Amino acid sequence: MESPLYSQGAPIAQAMCNREVVGCEKDTVEFYDYSILNYNGATWQWNFPGASWVSSTTAKNPKVLYAAPGIYNVSLTVTDSNGVSDSKTFVGMVQFPSSY
């Protein structure tokens, strides 16, 4: 009896950014999706509470600005082509100290 060697598992949301500490309101934070999923037909939904500007909440790799000091969470939901989703909130992913 033969069985397929590959089966598509459920997605696992994972994100990274190019900087964890923002020095001023002009520092662009670039976010990168490193989720475990089949990217063919996948969709993204980002949430950046407290951000002053977001290039896109549905792009794979959005860019974000923060205008005020604080500690910011980031949420990501990834959905594969079968409609299976995974969400994760990254607590304190970006920090903007009041004095840098």
Q: pLDDT tens digits, residue range 16-41?
A: 999 999 999 999 999 999 999 999 99
d(CA 59, CA 31): 10
Summarize pLDDT for 31-85 with one digit per residue, the tens. Answer: 999 999 999 999 999 999 999 999 999 999 999 999 999 999 999 999 999 999 9
CA distances from 78 to 33, 52, 99 (A): 9, 23, 35
Q: Which tokens sit at 78?
A: 């990834």
Shortest CA distance to 44 belongs to which of 2, 76, 89? Answer: 76
Radius of gyration of the chain (CA): 16
Tell me if the pTM is above 0.85: yes
Strands 85-96 and 53-54: unpaired
